[in-house]
Structure 1
Amino acid sequence: MLRFSTSAFRAHLLALLLLLLAGTARAQQQPMLAAGSRTILTSDSVKLFVQVAGQGTPCLFVHGGPGAGSYSFEKLGGSRLEDKLQMVYLDQRGSGRSGSSRTNNYSMARMVQDMEELRQQLGLQKWVVMAHSFGGTIATAYAQKYPQRVQALVLTNAVLNPVASLDSMLTYGTSLLPATARPTPSLPQMQRFGMVMGALQQQKLAGQLQFSHDSLAVRAMRASRAVPGNPEFAQQVFSGRLVDYGQDYAPATAKLTMPTLVIVGQDDRTTGATAATYRFPRKQVVTLPGKHNSFLEQPAQFRQAVVSFVQQLPR
């Protein structure tokens, strides 16, 4: 009969526990992604452009626009975060450097599926999801569908209610125009919006809608024009045929329990929201001077807010 002393049994048990813990840690460890650009193919054969840069906690950037692409944020804001975050810049289907859908499938469900397929192809267990402007709707929808894959949310100048955003932009944009250039209030909303945007361009006032200084608007425009763009997604959204982009996603935030950082521009007239609009149970709100592009208008404070938030996340 084999006999073990109590001390020997404890030693064997401790060794076994250590092996199990080590195996669990290896299983949960996130892979280090190779830096650089790549193209992924979705399950419905759309080619998506992805750029990976930096080191640290994986972070998916969800751009706005709709259809703006990720390049402008990468160069003007994201690059400041890459010493602490491994940034994954995705150009959504029909946007930026990505391809278009042959079946014109630009639904919210399909956008969410694209993000999840990207996560799977990259081999990540979970990631921080960061969104700007209109990207806030897509990021929130993704967090609803896959909460277990979202380590945290970072919403900067985010739109959660596109209708309220449109109303706010229309009201503010109209106020910037001289009385003689303002459209008749009785016209349909989308017609007035188009007329106001055109008049702001003609009056050289368009930059004031989203930027505190014209020089910042020029920098953003220069960056956005540095790479080819794809207008397909934007055209689909503004056509009015994609009804799920007209929904108010703010009420859904009350049930999203992941840590959430909300960065708000003090004079942002684009989002159509206040800090109280975002009802995440575990939210932190940081209000920065400026309008709709806090990462460009207050780069040091923006970086500090994001890095401090991410460093507090549970490991």
Structure 2
Amino acid sequence: MPTLNLKVNGISHWVKIAGQGPPILALHGGPGGNHFVFEHTTGPMLEKFRKLIYLESRGCGRSQRPTNGDWSIPALLSDLDEVLTQLELPEVTLFGNSFGGGLATTYALTRPQRVKTLILQAPWWFGMDVASHQISGFLPLLPPALRTEVQSLLLHQPARDTLEFIWSQIEGDVADRFLFEDLQVAALNRQLWEESGLVNTGEMHDFLLQHPPDPIHHRLGELSCPTLVLLGKHDRNIPVAQTLTLASSIPNCKGVVFENSAHFPDLEEALRFVQAIKDFLLPT
């Protein structure tokens, strides 16, 4: 299981390769997340039938921070180009989780010749307005005083600003209940994050607030590769109904909804999640 530090566009990128078979390159969520939880939980299950390439983006996880402060989508796409070139992969299956799903989809739209298939877990397709959905998911979970304050703020400022305020005020237990249905799985997720010693600095998030990605949600019909979209029924982070409607515009797309999951079906229903990917990649 080699772990590499690839020098890409002047930045050292952490890459881990494990497993056997045709390659899947995995892009993590965030923005600003990492692969530690995935590589210690569901990733090894996928490695049993695919070579998995874990890539942590510039300034994320164990990759080097860009000294020029460039966290833009074009820079991330250029990094991915160079990673695939250095690994001698003319085409690849891309797996993207949440923000990584938006990045993977953008790559498939702009470099279709390099993407064989696309697997997207709860993708944030750039241009989707998710702030109102997320606030609706948070409200029942907030302490009464904070809930009242949030409802007042919504009358006077944009939903996006109110959402930023919520994230700045909540405790870990609220975040866990927002992102997960099964609180034991949430506890495992938090335990692994703490074990990793890795942090999301927020720099990529802040950069993208000031430099929003070009919208892609209206371009999904241009995708030319087979696509699998995986969603938790109770996702409070990504609007499931809207995502399924958008996915229906993709010419060759299959959607799978996990009945007992929120934003992380890969953790909450890992066996079924892996089987769905296996069925997609290795149809009988």
| TM-score, normalised by the number of residues in structure 2 | 0.90
* Conserved 8 A contact 2:24-2:92: yes
1:292-307 aligned at under 5 Å gives the runs 292-307=263-278
Higher mean C-alpha displacement, 46-55 vs 157-166 = 157-166
Partner of 1:224: 193
Q: Distance in 1 between matches of 2:193 and 2:86?
A: 27
The count of corresponding residues between Structure 1 and Structure 2 is 274
Greater Rg, structure 1 or structure 2?
Answer: 1
Question: For residues 77-103 of structure 1, what are the alpha-carbon distances to aligned partners after superposition, in whole Å with 9 as ceiling and x for unaligned?
Answer: 111110111000001001000001111
Partner of 1:48: 13
* Conserved 8 A contact 2:226-2:252: yes
Partner of 1:261: 228
User: Tell me, which stretches of 5 or more residues in structure 1 are unaligned?
Assistant: 1-34
With over 3 angstroms needed to count, the CA separation of the structure-2 counterparts of 1:66 and 1:178, relative to structure 1, is same
2:120 alignment partner, one of 155, 163, 166: 155
Give, in angstroms, the shift of residue 146 of structure 1. 1.2
Q: Distance in 2 between matches of 1:104 and 1:230?
A: 17
Whether 2:84 is the aligned partner of 1:119: answer yes
Partner of 2:132: 167
Between the aligned residues of both structures, percent identity stands at 26
1:238 alignment partner, one of 174, 199, 206: 206
* Conserved 8 A contact 2:127-2:217: no
Higher mean C-alpha displacement, 302-311 vs 169-178 = 169-178
Partner of 1:102: 67
Q: Distance in 1 between matches of 2:100 and 2:183?
A: 24
Higher mean C-alpha displacement, 207-216 vs 175-184 = 175-184
The CA RMSD over aligned residues, in Å, is 1.9
Give, in angstroms, the shift of residue 181 of structure 1. 1.6
* Conserved 8 A contact 1:134-1:162: no
Partner of 2:5: 39
Give, in angstroms, the shift of residue 134 of structure 1. 1.1
Q: Distance in 1 between matches of 2:255 and 2:203?
A: 33
User: Tell me, which stretches of 5 or more residues in structure 2 are unaligned?
Assistant: none
With over 3 angstroms needed to count, the CA separation of the structure-2 counterparts of 1:60 and 1:138, relative to structure 1, is same
* Conserved 8 A contact 2:220-2:246: no
Partner of 1:26: none
Q: Distance in 1 between matches of 2:276 and 2:243?
A: 18
Whether 2:35 is the aligned partner of 1:70: answer yes
- What SS is found at the alignment partner of 2:231? strand
Q: Distance in 2 between matches of 1:68 and 1:41?
A: 20
Partner of 1:7: none
Q: Distance in 1 between matches of 2:158 and 2:228?
A: 36
Runs of 4 or more above 6 Å deviation:
none
Q: Distance in 1 between matches of 2:160 and 2:218?
A: 25
Partner of 1:24: none
Q: Distance in 2 between matches of 1:309 and 1:71?
A: 25
Q: Distance in 2 between matches of 1:132 and 1:89?
A: 12
* Conserved 8 A contact 2:32-2:205: no
* Conserved 8 A contact 1:258-1:282: yes
Q: Distance in 1 between matches of 2:5 and 2:199?
A: 15
Partner of 1:205: 174
* Conserved 8 A contact 1:128-1:154: yes
